[in-house]
Amino acid sequence: MRKKIGFLSFGHWRNAAGSRTRTAADALLQTIELAQAAEELGVDGAFVRVHHFERQLASPFPLLSAIAARTSRIEIGTGVIDMRYENPLYMAEEAAAADLISGGRLQLGVSRGSPETVLRGAEAFGYVPAEGENAADAARRKTEVFLAAISGAAVARTDPARTGISGGLAIQPQSPGLRERIWWGAGTRATAQWAAGLGVNLQSSTLLSEDTGVPFDRLQAEQIELFRQAWKDHGHTRAPRVSVSRSVLPITEDIDRLYFGDQAQEDQVGLLEGVRSRFGRTYAGEPDRIAAELAADEAVRAADTILFTVPNQLGVEYNARILRTIAEHIAPAIGWSAG
């Protein structure tokens, strides 16, 4: 399978000195513009991270639909939607609509979501876990309902008083092929194996809530290997896709050195919600050095899709230059070529 690359934006916005993304409107419109620029560069994907109660991107489907309407080739997606906050049937309608507008380019990453500053945020949206159900359980349950809905399953019944019959109804619209373009963001090896059983693609998280003492890229590669073995064991017939994301900040001008010259270059290990976790490193430096380091990255080698996080508050022009440098001087070293 040909390696693909994309950008991943968190859509931060802040009215502060140095920020070129000062409002929510800036964050949304600039993401559309960056997707257009990325498509012109030959980049394969435009992905957004979804966070609630933060000055970041929160409602992906209007944004993805707008990107779809302004582009023709680039994949559009999420990394990830926190399913705790979603009505799975309404989400199925929105996802199908966005996919139809894009002509089948939607690559939708979903998961339980990341740690938040808000207390019981999903409950504020009206979604309370069932008795005995934790947040992860709720996210998985909703994901299974969502997958059934986009697959055309009957999720409601007709009203015999109005129709004269009793039968099942699927959500509308349906978008053929969307079910094969759903991804699960996995933060552990066990959740990756669960995703394989469900028959969805894998987005390996930049934060793995387990630490065996091996480097982050090797830990991710182990997760990917277990996912693919579980996929095979479940007898799925299609080949799954696997993505990893990397923070890559090439330094080619003095302004880059000013912004990123002192970035930490090692994995980070710490306790997160009481669990020892490992975080991926930032790759900052000369493009040739970054290219060599990524070429040796075990998870990058194992994945078919690499998402590069962008410092979106530096503006579209700056981030388009980063993507150009990645496309011309870094991505070819990991097996990518413009399609």
Instruction: Give residue-wise pLDDT tens across range 175-205.
Output: 999 999 999 999 888 999 999 999 999 999 8
Beta-strand (E) ranges in the chain? 4-9, 45-48, 75-82, 106-111, 156-157, 168-169, 182-186, 201-204, 207-208, 242-250, 268-272, 275-279, 282-285, 305-309
User: 317: which 2 tokens?
Assistant: 């022009």
Average per-residue pLDDT in the chain? 92
Report the C-alpha gap between 325 and 254 in whole angstroms.
Answer: 15
What is the average pLDDT across 131-150?
Answer: 95
How high is the pLDDT of residue 281?
77
Is a pLDDT exceeding 70 seen at residue 269?
no
How high is the pLDDT of residue 273?
47
Is a pLDDT exceeding 90 seen at residue 163?
no
pTM: 0.94
Question: Residue 284 gets which letter from DSSP?
Answer: E
Is a pLDDT exceeding 50 seen at residue 274?
no
Is a pLDDT exceeding 80 seen at residue 213?
no
How high is the pLDDT of residue 50?
96
Per-residue pLDDT band at 264 (split at 50, 70, 90)? low
Q: Count other C-beta atoms under 10 Å from residue 30's C-beta.
A: 21
How high is the pLDDT of residue 170?
97
Q: Which of 41-45, 159-163, 209-213 has the highest mean pLDDT?
A: 41-45
Task: Report the range of poorest mean pLDDT among 22-26, 89-93, 230-234, 266-270.
Answer: 266-270
Higher pLDDT, 339 or 52: 52
What is the average pLDDT across 238-260?
Answer: 94
What is the average pLDDT across 201-225?
Answer: 85
What is the average pLDDT across 291-313?
Answer: 96
Per-residue pLDDT band at 164 (split at 50, 70, 90)? confident
How high is the pLDDT of residue 211?
64
Half-sphere CA count of 46, side-chain side, radius 13 A:
33
How high is the pLDDT of residue 85?
97
Per-residue pLDDT band at 70 (split at 50, 70, 90)? very high
Q: Which residues contact 222 (CB under 8 A, 6 or more apart)?
A: 189, 212, 214
CA dihedral sign of residues 68, 74, 75, 78: negative
Is a pLDDT exceeding 70 seen at residue 130?
yes
Is a pLDDT exceeding 50 seen at residue 275?
no
Among 177, 206, 176, smallest CA distance to 111 is for 206
Determine the 3-state secondary structure of 207 from DSSP.
strand
How high is the pLDDT of residue 276?
41
How high is the pLDDT of residue 209?
65
| Cα separation of the two ends of the chain | 12
What is the average pLDDT across 166-181?
Answer: 97
Half-sphere CA count of 222, side-chain side, radius 13 A:
15
Per-residue pLDDT band at 80 (split at 50, 70, 90)? very high
Higher pLDDT, 262 or 163: 163
